[in-house]
Amino acid sequence: MFTGSLVALVTPFDNGQVDFETLRELVNFQIEGGTDGIVPVGTTGESPTLSHDEHKQVVKVVVEEVAGRIPVIAGAGSNSTQEALDFTRYAKEVGADGTLQVVPYYNKPTQEGLYEHFATLANEVDLPIVLYNIPGRCVINMDPATIIRLSELENIVAIKEATGKLDQASEIAINCGLTILSGDDSLTLPLASIGGKGVISVVANIIPNDVKALTDSILEGDFSSARQWHNKLFKLSNALLSMSTNPIPIKAAMAIMKLCPEEIRLPLVPLDNDKKVQLEQILADYGLLRSVS
């Protein structure tokens, strides 16, 4: 149901408030760039520091601006099942096409607890779910056996795989029919080698056309072309996830390219100046800047 290049959209801020005008501009920038789907209020969208009202308003504005042109998969996850249910019901109410549901963080549920959490969401709200497994942020890993069990539920259709473990992704691919989406831009092609069908991308915030070209090549089975795109994208993609905590580098890059303000919410802080100089050079090397000041 959800394949190709899906962007993990940033949430722009201006003087402490969500910048909804810029948010609408970013949505259209993505659609014009060929993006296959938009994922607001995920990790890259700074969901942990949005108020519940802001979270819902961002989803509503993105759905309104997209106006049915491409799917919207609304971030709706939480470490509270009742809170996730509230966000999920709201996403359905305003017309989102699906939700992204992260593994509950901090409270460290058991595998049975994880199953019951996601099963509750799937059974209570008739809306497709993309599971999101990212142990580096959530402390725990959702085991393949739990994922395979969840895949039997009708509304659970895909997984954003961000464990960095091809063995785990292979076990999922072999044993169930979930669509596997990369959660790391640099691993989109490696995951495709075992059956991945696309990416929920950070770097697509600035180069939607190129990420689309990569995933189109993958979906067409043209792995020679896909490898060329992977090689071109690798240094930039890797920098955006290694220079500092996401979404600090991508917001810095977008500010450099005048796509949105760099403003980010505490406890995250802007990219330091030395790294910003390095990032400008990487953007220039990629061809996104005419020169480095």
Q: Are 99 and 74 in contact (CB under 8 A)?
A: yes
Is residue 92 annotated as a catalytic residue, yes or no?
no
From 60, 90, 115, 132, active-site residue: 132
What's the token pair of residue 134?
């990212």
DSSP assignment of 149-215 = HHTTSTTEEEEEE-S--HHHHHHHHHH--PEEEESSGGGHHHHHTTT--EEEESGGGT-HHHHHHHH
From 56, 60, 160, 276, active-site residue: 160
Is residue 235 annotated as a catalytic residue, yes or no?
no
Q: Are 12 and 22 in contact (CB under 8 A)?
A: yes
CA distance 121 to 127: 9
Within 13 A of 60's CA, how many CA atoms are on the CB side?
13
Q: Characterize 15-29 residue by residue with b for buried, 16 or more Cβ atoms within 10 angstroms of its Cβ, and e for exposed.
A: eeebbbebbbebbeb
Q: Which residues are catalytic?
A: 132, 160
